Structure formats: C-alpha cells, structure tokens
Amino acid sequence: MTTSNQGPAVLGRHAPIFKGILRGIEKEGLRVDQHGALAMTPHPRALGSALTHPHITTDYSEALLELITGTHDSTESLLQELEQIHRYTSQKLGDELIWNQSMPALLPPEADIPIAWYGTSNTGMLKHVYRRGLAERYGKAMQCIAGVHYNFSLPEAFWELTDAGGATLQERRNKGYLALIRNFTRYSWLLMYLFGASPAVSKGFMGGRPGPLQEFDADTFYLPYATSLRMSDLGYQNKAQSDLQLCYNDLETFLERMYAAVTTPWPAYEAIGTHRNGEWIQLSGNILQIENEYYSNIRPKRTTGRCERPATALAERGVQYIEVRCLDIDHTSPIGIAPETACFMDAFLLFCAAEPSKLFPNNGFCHDSHDNFSLVVKEGRKPGLVLIDQNKPKSLADWSQELVERIAPYAALLDQAYGDSRYTAALARQAEKVRDVEQTPSARLLKTLRDQKLSLHDYSLRESLAHRDYLNAQPLDAATLERYEAATQASFMEQKRLEDGDTEDFASYVARYHAALKRP
C-alpha cells in the first residue's frame, strides 16, 4: 500500500499556501568556562527560570542550555529570533560561553556532572527525576551531547490537497505526517552526509578508550569517513530501546507501541528501583519512563498542557507538527545553524510530505533505512559507499544526486511562494557537497584540524570564543532587551505560582501523571 500525495506540478497551482509553513528551532549548547570545561555553576539567574522561561531552558545537565524560538512563517524571522536569544543569553553569561560543538567539552568525572534542577514544584521535580533516571540508565556523559532540533508544520490547506485518505481533516493530517516521517526515515541519511559535523570526539569524552575509533592526535579520536559520531551508537548501548520498534505506518499502531513501552517493566530498570536512600531516582522501571525517552531522529508532536502525556495528546488531538532531531550543531555559525540549512530543511521536508510514501513492511520497521543511516554516520564520505534502496544496492553518490534532483521542484515551489530564490540557492549549495565530498562539514572540520594542527577541543574552544565575541559585540536594541528582561522576571513569578499552588505530594503527582496516559 502506498500513501500517494500530490506532486510539485499540482502543488504549484497552490503555491501561496506554502507561506503558511511554520518552523521553529530548539538549539542546545553546553555552558563552559574560559578553558572549555563544563560549567559547574547553577543555571544563571539572569536567564530566568529554566522551568518556565519560554525561550531559555536546560536539557539534561544544569549546564546544557536549550534555546527555543517561537514558530515562524519564514526562515529569515526564525533565525533572527534565534540570534536574538543567543545574544541575550551570551551577554548574560559573564565569563562563561556556549560550547558551539555537538560533542561535549571537558567533562568532570561522571558522578560530578550536575543534573538540571527546576525547583520544588511537582512539574519541576518530575523533570528532574526523569533526568536522574536517564543518568541511571545511560550514564551522564552521553546526555551532554548537543544538537539542533528543527520543528516543522504544514498549513491545513496542504492536507486538503493530499489524497492520503481519512474521513476528517485530523485523520488526513495524521496520515500525512506519518507518510512524511516514513519518507524522512528512508532519506534522512542524506542529512547526515550534508550536515553531519561531528566526525571526531575528544579523548576525554571516551574516557581515553578508543573503542571502534582511531587516534587523530594526542587529544582526539575520530573515524576517517565519519559524518556524525553524535548520531552513531558510539558508547551508547541500550538493549531496552534496541528491542523497541515503533511503527510509522499509522498513528494508532505507533501509539499502541509507545503505550506498551512506557507501561512494560524492564528487568534491569526494575532492579534499579524508583528510590534510593529515600529519594526518587527514576519515574518507573519500565522500558521508557516517559515518551520523550525514546531516542529517534524524528517525532510526531503535539503541544501538551501541564500533567498531560504526549501520547494522550496525540491520540486525542492528532499530530500538530514534526520534530527533526538529527542535525548536528553547525560549529561555523554563532547560532549553530546556517540560513541555507534551514531553507534546505524546508524543501526536504516538503518533499518528504508530498512524495508517495509506501508503508513499511516487517511489522512497520524499515531495516534498510536504519542500516543506511547507521552506515552514513560512520562511513558517509567513504569512496564508493553503497547503500540499499528497496533491497537493491545503490551508491551514495548516485542516490544523493537523484534526491537533489527530486527535491529541486519543491525548492522552486517555495521560491515561488516567497518570491525570491533562497531555496534554490540553498539546494545548489548542497549539490556542491554531493559533487565534492570535501565540501561537507565533516570533511572541512577534519581538514582544518590537520592544516592548523589543532585538537578538536582547542579548535572548538577557539570557535566558541569567537562566536561569544560576535554575539556580545552588538547589544540588543532597547525594545528587544526589555522584552527578554520581562520574560525573565515573568518566568520567576510563574515558577513561584506553580510551587505555591501545589497541594499534593510528589508521589501522588507521579501516580496521576502515569494515570494520565490513556490506552490508545
């Protein structure tokens, strides 16, 4: 069975609707000191409450900043806001700076990496205990790896043009986004080739043990043809999740499997328990504590309210947008992503949504796509590399060129909608990388390290300092600064309101949170 949508020729007659595409970014980055060592200080009070600030929060570690834009109807305004948030944050960090590289800076001993703290409200404690659980299950160092998440939604009018099936708009939207995700799964290896920027890691991150890696210099390990060690299985072994195969053929099966994962005990996690010395250390002993623990390159998403489960929100109100999670930080950009990357992501995701999308066989799991992705992150620049396309071998070079040509009409469609040529220009830049592997970010990074005789750490520190100077050189205008200062103060008031308003004990809140997950 194939979910078949309308191609660019038909969509071209409706080009104006694509100005209704919305996109947002969540960009992570470690706070470090002047030497590139992980900052051991609390989340700076000048940045507001990590629990309630709309734009500045933390992810796993207290030092892992997450900067969040609103939704935007153009890549230009999106990146403008992302730069504003970076400027505000950087100018409040004092002697600290944002590490602008996906692989971590100098980390302290594992036990000393501070887990993010969100205050004493039940909502804040849930976030903190969840992260304690991640530490127990996977270790702390792996949780300090950073990336860029790209959120993307298509206008409702687009789903009216598709023939994906469904009696209601919500059903068509659900089917359409799942079709997009299937195509993304098939072709996301291309993103790793084009934008992977972590072919090397500092030896300290590996504890001095190379594993499958080779020595690049006295301080750096690497793989010679790698594109994104961040997205590889480097040092990350999770038997529970490796056995978990979510299905993107339909939302109902996806939610059923997610429900099973967050309600099915896993012996090793049960053995850990939920408490130690009278303190919570994880939310459950199940395969997943909560839905967000599932590590995937892309997620169907729906905004949630307090104590609302993501899976329940998806079941009741449907998919609202998708979250792409596999982009490395662009270490050449002060904000971690270049304008051409955002434009390409729009064209690529529109291509994934509009092109025919066959259902996955094998109980909904596409082994070839998984294997292609894993191969490209480790060997994507290897001469003559061969992938598997519909059970047949195909060279990465040929397939990349074919995909660029297939994406081109969608880039032109977006240019038609926005009245300029930024999308075809962005695609042309990616075509250069397809023709010349030395133009890829991973190749350019390794060449720079070799030519300048720098370790990954020393290069990343130099670039992060330069980006800090760039961000601090231009103060925000008075109105923008006033808006961020107001958001910072409002975040403290909202955190206090939550803390003062809690009337139930945390154990009861956790039980109610678990109960909020409804069987699909």
Q: What is the pLDDT of residues 354-363, one digit of tens each?
A: 999 999 987 6
For the stretch 394-407, pLDDT in tens is 999 999 999 999 99
Tell me 265's DSSP state. Answer: B
Q: Report, as an integer, the average pLDDT of 401-414.
A: 97
* pLDDT confidence of residue 482: 97
Does residue 1 have a pLDDT over 50? no
Domain presence at residue 520 = no
User: How big is the CA angle at 388 (ends 384 and 391), to the nearest 5 degrees?
Assistant: 140
Report the C-alpha gap between 191 and 230 in whole angstroms.
13
Does residue 364 have a pLDDT over 70? no
Contact 176, 164 (CB under 8 A): yes
Q: Report, as an integer, the average pLDDT of 489-505.
A: 97
* pLDDT confidence of residue 238: 60
CA distances from 22 to 150, 302, 322, 426 (A): 11, 14, 11, 18
Considering its fold, how many domains does the chain have in total?
A: 1
Q: Report, as an integer, the average pLDDT of 53-76.
A: 98
* pLDDT confidence of residue 239: 61
Report the C-alpha gap between 465 and 460 in whole angstroms.
9
Q: Which of 386, 383, 431 is nearest to 406 (CA)?
A: 431
pLDDT averaged over the chain?
A: 94
pTM: 0.96
CB count, 10 Å around CB of 424?
16
Domain presence at residue 164 = yes
- Counting residues of the chain whose pLDDT is more than 70, the rounded percentage is 96
Contact 457, 220 (CB under 8 A): yes
Tell me 357's DSSP state. Answer: E
Q: Which of 489, 488, 516 is nearest to 126 (CA)?
A: 516
* pLDDT confidence of residue 447: 98
Range(s) of the domain holding residue 405: 2-515
pLDDT higher for 341 or 3? 341
Q: Which of 356, 362, 228, 385 is nearest to 297 (CA)?
A: 228
Indicate the pLDDT class of residue 520, thresholds 50, 70 and 90.
confident
Q: Collect all residues with Cβ–Cβ distance below 8 Å to 377 and sequence separation of at least 6.
A: 192, 196, 226, 227, 228, 229, 231, 232
Q: Report, as an integer, the average pLDDT of 172-182.
A: 95
Report the C-alpha gap between 135 and 59 in whole angstroms.
13
- Indicate the angle between helix axes 396-418 and 339-354, nearest 10 degrees: 100
CB count, 10 Å around CB of 289?
25
Q: 67: domain CATH number? A: 3.30.590.20
pLDDT higher for 150 or 12? 150
Does residue 176 have a pLDDT over 60? yes
* pLDDT confidence of residue 111: 95
Does residue 244 have a pLDDT over 80? no
Domain presence at residue 169 = yes
Indicate the pLDDT class of residue 368, thresholds 50, 70 and 90.
confident
Domain presence at residue 465 = yes
* pLDDT confidence of residue 2: 43
Q: Report, as an integer, the average pLDDT of 371-390.
A: 96
Q: Amino acid letter at 372?
A: N
Domain presence at residue 392 = yes
Domain presence at residue 179 = yes
- Indicate the angle between helix axes 506-515 and 122-138, nearest 10 degrees: 80
